Chain A
Amino acid sequence: DGGITQSPKYLFRKEGQNVTLSCEQNLNHDAMYWYRQDPGQGLRLIYYSQIVNDFQKGDIAEGYSVSREKKESFPLTVTSAQKNPTAFYLCASRIAGYTGELFFGEGSRLTVL
């Protein structure tokens, strides 16, 4: 079945460590997105990519980095520079150049100890 796979589902990190969240899709979508969800708030865009080897910062990119070396993959690294990294992270994709529906993964919950 086509879809988006995020891993790990749960991740614990010590302060000062970088962690990488995986996002893989087999929907043949060009555009991929990373969102952060905090309690009581709407999803906030961290980074997005419309095409391989290109990506743009979203509203809250500070302390995060991404790469887009393959169409299927859009990993997110939460660096030690991110001041408040404990959150739920969602990856999504859709057809590039299209403002239609997003397809989402099930999310990754990061907790910093």
Chain B
Amino acid sequence: ILNVEQSPQSLHVQEGDSTNFTCSFPSSNFYALHWYRWETAKSPEALFVMTLNGDEKKKGRISATLNTKEGYSYLYIKGSQPEDSATYLCAFNQDSNYQLIWGAGTKLIIKP
């Protein structure tokens, strides 16, 4: 059974601080790793789709790294702002199967 684990489940961070959280996935037959941000009462939105081992992607203050050999990805947020408060989801594609296996998410709350 394929399993994707995200940690921590929730995180409180002071505004201005930087933070990071983890997505762990099976290391065999890797195809792609997705990160999404899901704000309350909105649609989940894609942040990154990563396919190459060692890849690092950046969007503004948010970046992600990927290690396919050991099966983990980190999401970093630099200088957290209140608008970063959301649940961050990761999802794993094995082989070229179109189905994604989802983690339960990390809920991030930024304290002003």
A106 touches B98 (CB 8 A): no
- Which listed segment binds A: B43-51, B54-62, B66-74? B43-51
Residues on the A chain within 8 Å of B104, using CB: 40-42
A31 touches B98 (CB 8 A): yes
Secondary structure of the A contact surface, majority rule: loop
B34 touches A101 (CB 8 A): yes
A105 interface residue per 8 A CB criterion: yes
**A43 touches which one: B32, B42, B89, B96 (CB < 8 A)?**
B89
Q: Whole-angstrom distance from the CB of B60 to the nearest CB of chain A?
A: 17
Encoded as 1 (CB less than 8 Å from any A CB) or 0, chain B from 1 to 44 comes to 00010000100000000000000000000011010100001111
Interface residues on B, range: 20 to 34
Residues on the B chain within 8 Å of A21, using CB: none
B100 touches A102 (CB 8 A): yes
Encoded as 1 (CB less than 8 Å from any B CB) or 0, chain A from 1 to 31 comes to 0001000000000000000000000000001
Cα–Cα, bound, A44→B103 (Å): 10
Residues on the A chain within 8 Å of B32, using CB: 99-100
Residues on the B chain within 8 Å of A99, using CB: 31-32, 49, 93, 96, 98
**A107 touches which one: B43, B49, B101 (CB < 8 A)?**
B43
> 23 A-B pairs, CB-CB below 8 angstroms?
A31-B98, A35-B102, A40-B9, A42-B4, A42-B102, A42-B105, A45-B100, A48-B98, A48-B99, A90-B44, A99-B31, A99-B32, A99-B96, A100-B32, A100-B49, A102-B44, A103-B46, A104-B45, A105-B43, A106-B41, A106-B42, A106-B43, A107-B43
Residues of chain A touching chain B, judged by Cβ–Cβ distance below 8 Å, are 4, 31, 35, 40-45, 48, 50, 58, 90, 99-107
Those 7 A-B pairs whose CB atoms lie nearest each other, nearest first: A42-B102, A101-B46, A104-B43, A43-B102, A104-B44, A42-B104, A106-B43
